[in-house]
Amino acid sequence: MPTSFVINNKYEILNKLGNGSFGSIYKAVNIHKSEFVAIKVERINSPFKMLKNESYVYNHLGTLSCIPAIKWFGHDEQNYYMVVQLLGPSLKDVLINNGAFSKHSSLTIAVHILSIIQYIHSKGFIHRDIKLDNFLFKNTSNFNMLYVIDFGLCTHIPRNKTPNKTTELIGSPLYASLNAHNKIELHMRDDIISLFYMTCHLELGTLPWLNDNQMNDIIEKKKNLNGLMNSIFYRTLLNCYAFEFNETPNYTLIKRRLLENSNVT
């Protein structure tokens, strides 16, 4: 998309920020307010139609400090556009630039993100794409506030008592639960399992399967994490896998276990 292109007679494209799972993301400015924003763009003829779903979720989640403000959603003849609050670097950006986080920082972030996940679940949704890329700081100088983004794969919490089969893995292979790898319908537990893998990545600076391309290799390494995690952390992860498909997680207990883990050397 060319720079100086103006959307909705208001938002001027400045530069491309990157590519999302199903479209592109640009930095733009509201020419009437001199306010910088981010714009997600998806082709009208895209087979995925993720952006409309994402705007729907944003509107239903409402205004909360961890949810970016959505400014506008619309389309022209070529594209759908969603204008949202411009944020700073992601957890992935900070990890790449600064290296592994301390145990305390990793688990403090994990507890905070678990509260965000709990809020999303309380609104009747599961995120299904919990990963480092999707948690952004407010700006480059404020590392105290995290926002969750990218609700393209988000869906209503299933109300069926037993899981259906899916046709493909949903989410990022790096952080997806074994249920996702096994093509089992995702539920609340799977968002939290992905958070555990994320937390390991933050603290270790890597994951055993980070550079693996074969799904079977990733699955086998995810099954053998006992030596990688201390016992409290590993038991808590296994407890999440033991949740029934439609069971509501005990968020308070999981937070307490994470904080207990932060005291283990």
Domain locations in the chain as residue ranges: 6-85, 91-262
Domains 6-85 and 91-262 fall in the same CATH topology: no
* pLDDT of amino acid 138: 87
* pLDDT of amino acid 197: 96
Alpha helices in 41-183 (DSSP H): 50-61, 91-98, 103-122, 178-181
98-118 burial, b for 16+ CB within 10 Å, e for fewer? Answer: eeebebeebbebbbbbbebbb
What pTM does this model have?
Answer: 0.94
251 CB-near residues (< 8 Å, 6+ apart) = 114, 115, 117, 118
* pLDDT of amino acid 142: 62
pLDDT tens per residue across span 132-169: 999 999 876 566 689 999 999 999 999 999 999 999 99
pLDDT at 201 over 60: yes
Is residue 179 within 8 A of residue 164, CB to CB? The reply is no
DSSP 4-28: T-EETTTEEEEEEEEE-SSSEEEEE
Bridge partners (DSSP) of residue 80 are 42, 75
Q: What is the mean pLDDT of residues 235-261?
A: 93
pLDDT tens per residue across span 68-94: 999 999 999 999 999 999 999 999 999
pLDDT at 265 over 60: no
Please give the CATH architecture assigned to the domain spanning 6-85: 2-Layer Sandwich (3.30)
* pLDDT of amino acid 18: 87
**Which residues are annotated as catalytic?**
129
Bridge partners (DSSP) of residue 165 are 184
Q: Which fold has domain 91-262?
A: Transferase(Phosphotransferase); domain 1 (1.10.510)
* pLDDT of amino acid 20: 67
Q: What is the DSSP letter of 247?
A: P
Quickly tell me which residue has 């639960």 as its tokens: 177
Q: What is the DSSP letter of 62?
A: -
Q: What is the DSSP letter of 153?
A: T
What average pLDDT does the structure give for the chain?
Answer: 92
pLDDT at 36 over 70: yes
pLDDT at 252 over 60: yes
Name the least confident of 9-23, 85-99, 126-140, 189-203: 9-23
Share of the chain above pLDDT 70, in %: 96
E-strand ranges in the chain read 6-7, 11-19, 24-30, 35-43, 70-75, 79-85, 125-126, 135-139, 142-148, 155-156
